[in-house]
Each structure stands twice: as structure tokens, then as C-alpha cells.
Amino acid sequence: MICMKKTLLAVFLLAALAGESQTLFTYGKTAVSKEEFLRAYNKNNSSTNSEKAYRDYLELYIRFKLKVQSGYDKGYDTLDKQKTELAGFRDQIAQGFMSDEASTQLLYDEAFLRTQKDIHVAHIYIPFTTPNSNDTIAAFRKASEAWSKLKSGESFANIATAYSADPSVKTNGGDIGFITAFSLPYKFETAVYETSPGNFSRPVKSGQGYHIFKVIETRPAVGRIKAAQILLAFQPDADQNQKNATKALADSIYTALKNGASFSELVAKYSNDNQTYQSGGLMPEFGVGKYEPTFENAVFALGKNGEISKPILSSFGYHIVQRLGTVPVNTDKNNADEFSTLKLTVLADNRIQVAKRALAKKTIATAGYKKLPYNHSLLMAYADSIWSGKKLPQRPELNDNTLIFSFPKQKVTAADFASYLSSVQNAPDLYRGKSMADLLEQYTEAVAVEYHKNNLEQFNKEFASQLNEFKEGNLLFEVMDQEVWQKASSDTVGLKAYYAAHPNKYFWESSADIILFTCTDSIVTKAAMNEFLKNKNNWKSLSMNSDGTIQADSGRYELSQIPVTNHLNLKPGYLSEPLRAAADNITSFVYVLKTYPEKTVRNLEDAKGFVINDYQSTIEDAFVQRLRKKYPIKVNEKVLASCWKN
């Protein structure tokens, strides 16, 4: 027993020492870990790992932490501006952390696998008009009846014709063609991909009705296609004679194309597709599940680029399509660019709600959620009265103030649930097809997600780190503004004293007094030069009367700063040739008023910008020295050395 105690004690001591060894430095009683330091270092110094680089950055980081601490000491973090900017940044980045990472990764992987396969699908649709009503029950019974007949071996096409409300079923027997990932709403897509070829799904409930899917066949995904089309559209009330005439015109156009006629010219002359006729018929790139099966099948059957289809009949009219190219499906999960695009598609799709629900359930399971005791039947009656617009029943056992669940920092009442129900009544997609119990679960999950967002720092270390970095960076700016920059620029006595104490520091190199003209382009420049030569004393009016196309200013510049091709030409009265900036076509020229060939001392006014900058550094150094006395620095050299040795 004694040996075991000694062993355990040794383990605890080693763990404690390991944890302590990761403290890189302290200022006062505050410790900064090696991990925090390296995180900052690697963001700013990724190109070098020398001892000097680490030590130099450590000094900068110590100064940074001391200044931030002074900001907290003076309460700058409580300023309204600081709090508003932090809240804005928090909202900006929070959404990127509002999903369960494991569930999101599963969605990425699942979507990738599904994009590898196209599935030929047939569909039965049995609608209802009002969810949670007798109409819903009747639709469910009808769907169940259809499903039972399918199980008994009856033809899917026959059952679809008899039961489906899809208008196209009379001509296609429910066959909706090939689909792939993202062609259908996620719930339907999942039902299809989880059904094996030759089989059909159980009835799937949506907000509009019940759906049964049959998988006819599968194939490797064909990817996307680039194509152009000539569309000869039917008039809205076209009779058969008019449709026959449209077909005859389509046949004649196809014949002309086969004989070498220009596709783009015939598009411009005949196509009724308002979206594509001005671009030579060019259609947006598309994959399967986008258009009618007959159209897609004919287009994807084109074997080579440049090939033109025979006229294709659709419900819109006749299409003549030219294949321009194909985009194969990415089959390499390690292709970073393609997989990144897939991730963005997943995040923009309604399937991401699966990850958000997982996040809600995880929050409910781990964040201290408590379902409080209440009468469920009374709560449902209370909720039904809200839904039907009746007066809310207030009973001792259940009323507006009854608590229904809670989190450590939030309590939720029946009245809160009532407010939610009132809000979703204006959003059919949130309630269609759902029972009141479903809506209570949906509300609970919504509260959990919002609670997670409002307390995200507790749940996500990376989020907390980013938020703290922004807070401290913003606080640093406030500290520097209050304690250094404003003091340096407003302390005229200090500036004069600093200038006087450094008489040989601020010089003009060889310089000149010039008028500098900047013009929006070379034509404006030429006109400005002509006007200037007519009356050099009137140069200010050139800028004032130019509507912003000419900017002019005078001042003293060192020769190296003047935008001319040859600084040796800079003599009084010299007018330079125009110099055009390649990036934006802005053109400049100068007129020399006076030159100063020798190096001369700048007076305080001319040197003021330099003096303020240097004086700021002096004030900052003194400020940091005071902070070092207030918060003594202790660096763990062993931990510091491990930064560049490991």
C-alpha cells in the first residue's frame, strides 16, 4: 500500500512539474504558457526558428502583455466602443463554430461518397394541404396503402399512376430520371441513397406530403456538362398543329447545322431562351437531376465536344443542344481544392441542419440541460390554444410562468415557448408536417443552439482564443492611443525639448520645392500641362475646377521622393515629362520651383512627423519600464530553449 501511495505521489508530482514547465514567463502573478506564446509566434514568424528570433519576439510579446494588462487596470475594456467592437467581431466569427465538428465531417465524407454515384429514380407523391390534421392522416393512410401494394409485388409505374399527384406521372410512370448528391432535398436524397437497386423506400414525410422512391439502377457519376442550346419554345396554349410546326422548324435548323451553319447565328435568329440567346446559347454548367430526364439523357448521350443533338422534346418545346465540354466528378478525396468546394456546398445546403441538430443534442447532453417537472398534457393543451388563437389557459399546475427546462445560465418558461409558437406561425417551413410535440423538441433544440452560441467560449477553445486575440489587440490600440500616441502629438513642450536634444538627427537630403500634379489619365495630363504653361501662377485653380480629375499640391521633397525618371534634371523652372503608373493609369508631372543641393537641417515644423514618431517611442519605452516595475517579469529559460530546440 505504501509503495502504491509513493508511486501515485510520484505520478502527480511529475504531472504537476510538467504543467509548471509549460509556463514560459510570468508578469506579476499572471502566467503565460508556452502554448500561447508559440501560437502568437507562429502566426507572425513562420519563416525562422533561430534562438534570436524567439528571444526578439519574446520581448515584443512581453511588452504586448504588459500594455494589455494596463488596459484592464484602467478599465479600457469596459468602454462602450470596446464592447461594441468585440460583440461585432464575436457575431462575425461565431457562425463558423456553430456546428458539431464530428457530425459536419461525416456530412462531408457522406456527400463525397454520394457524388461518386448517379441513381435512376422513380417517385410517388401523395400530398396533404394542412399538417397535423385529418388531411395528413388521410395522406398517410393512402401512402401506406400504396407502399403495401408495392410490397406485394405490384408494378411501381401502375401504383404511381394510380396514387401519385405528380402531373408528369401519366407520361413517365413516376420515372424522374437520374439524380446525384444535392439534386434533391437531403431527406429525400438519403432515402434514395439508402435504398438498393430494384427496391423502394418507406413513405418519407415532407412539409407537403408523403413520398415513396424506387431505385431503378445506379451508375458511376457522369459529372457535369457544358453545353449551348437553341430552344424553340411552345406558346402557352399551343395546339398540336402549332407543336408540329415547331418540330418542323427544329428539324430544318438541325439539318442546317449538320450542313455547316453557324450554331451561334441560328441561336440569335431562332432561340426563345431569353437567358442564353445573347451568349450564343451558352447554358450554365449542369449535372444530372437539374432538368427533365428526356432532355438530360439526350444531352449526356452526346459523345464528343462539338457534337449536336437531334431536336429534343420537353415540356418547354424543342431543344437542339451542342456539347462544349465535360467536367468529371472529383474522385480524389485528397484533392484539396475540389474537396474544399464540396465542403462549401455542404455548408450551404439544408443538410447542415443535421450537424446543427447534433450540436443541439450535444449541448443538451453536456451543458447542464434539465427538463423540469410539468404536466405534459397541460402544456400541449396550452400550446394548442396558442396555435388556434384562443385565450391562454392559466392553471396553477401550468401557466405562463411554469418552468419547462433550464440551462445553468438560462431558465425557459411556458410563455417563452408560446412566443416561439407565435413566431413560427409566419414560417410554414418550420411547422409544416410537425406535431406540437415535434415543435416543442424543435424549440428546445433552438434554445440549446442559441445557448451554445451565447456561451461559445466555454465550448470551443479555438473560438475563445480568437475572441481573446481580438479583444487584446483592440485593447492594445486603445492603450497606445491613450497612453502614447495622444500624449506624444499633444505635448508641444516635450516635442520641442526632444527636438532640441537631438540637433543632428533631422536633415533634409538634397531636395526641392515643387508643384506636384496627379491626373486620372494621360489625356487629362496633357490638357493640364498646356493650361499650366499658359499661367503658372494659376496652378491651384487647375485642381479646384477639374471635378477631381486633377490633384495639385506644392511642398518640399527630397529628390529621391520626386516622381521623375531622371533626378539630375531637377533645376528651377524644370517641367518633367508625364510619368504613368502601370497599375492604375494615374499620371503625374512636376514643376520645380527651387532646389537645395546640399544636406540641410530640418526645422521643427519640417521634422515634426519624424520627431513625433521618435518621441512616441521614448514615451512608450518609459511607459513599459513603469509596467515592468509594477509587474516583474520572470522567464523560464528552460522552457524558452525548448521552443527552438524541439
pLDDT score at 47:
65
- Average pLDDT on 416-424 reads 94
The rounded radius of gyration (Å) of the Cα atoms in the chain is 37
- Taking the model in full, what pTM does it have? 0.62
**Confidence check: pLDDT of 646 > 90:** no
pLDDT score at 18:
43
Question: DSSP alpha helices (H): ranges in 398-520?
Answer: 414-424, 428-431, 436-454, 456-459, 461-480, 486-490, 492-501
Percent of the chain at pLDDT > 90 equals 77
Read off the pLDDT of residues 236-293 as tens digits, 9 standing for 90 and up: 889 999 999 999 999 999 999 999 999 999 999 999 988 888 889 999 999 999 999 9
**Confidence check: pLDDT of 134 > 80:** no
pLDDT score at 354:
87
**Confidence check: pLDDT of 67 > 50:** yes
pLDDT score at 7:
41
CB atoms within 10 A of CB 286: 15
pLDDT score at 133:
60
- Average pLDDT on 486-490 reads 90
- Average pLDDT on 165-184 reads 93
Host H or E run for residue 297: helix 293-300
3-state SS class at 575:
strand
Please state which architecture CATH assigns to domain 117-220: Roll (3.10)
**Confidence check: pLDDT of 15 > 70:** no
Bridge pairing between strands 587-596 and 511-519: antiparallel
- Average pLDDT on 391-406 reads 91
Question: Could you say which of 3.40.190.10, 2.130.10.10, 3.10.50.40, 1.10.10.10 is the CATH number of the domain covering 224-327?
Answer: 3.10.50.40
Q: Work out the mean pLDDT of the chain and round it to a whole number.
A: 91
**Confidence check: pLDDT of 222 > 50:** yes
pLDDT score at 181:
95
pLDDT score at 277:
82
Read off the pLDDT of residues 35-52 as tens digits, 9 standing for 90 and up: 999 999 988 876 678 899
Read off the pLDDT of residues 506-518 as tens digits, 9 standing for 90 and up: 999 999 999 999 9
**Cell, residue 500:** 532640441
Question: Could you say which of 1.20.120, 1.10.3470, 1.10.287, 3.10.50 is the CATH number of the domain covering 507-601?
Answer: 3.10.50
- Average pLDDT on 329-356 reads 89
pLDDT score at 17:
40
pLDDT score at 402:
96
- Domain span(s) for CATH 3.10.50.40 in the chain: 117-220, 224-327
Place 130 in a pLDDT band, splitting at 50, 70 and 90.
low
pLDDT score at 607:
92
Read off the pLDDT of residues 253-269 as tens digits, 9 standing for 90 and up: 999 999 999 999 999 99
Read off the pLDDT of residues 560-606 as tens digits, 9 standing for 90 and up: 999 998 888 899 999 999 998 877 889 999 999 999 999 999 999 99
Cα separation, 117 vs 298, whole angstroms: 19
Place 227 in a pLDDT band, splitting at 50, 70 and 90.
very high
Place 131 in a pLDDT band, splitting at 50, 70 and 90.
low
**Cell, residue 70:** 494596463
262-267 long-range contacts (CB < 8 A, ≥24 apart) are 263/228, 263/230, 263/308, 263/322, 264/228, 266/230, 267/228, 267/229, 267/230
Report whether 430 contacts 130 (CB < 8 A): no
Question: DSSP alpha helices (H): ranges in 313-455?
Answer: 336-348, 352-366, 376-387, 414-424, 428-431, 436-454
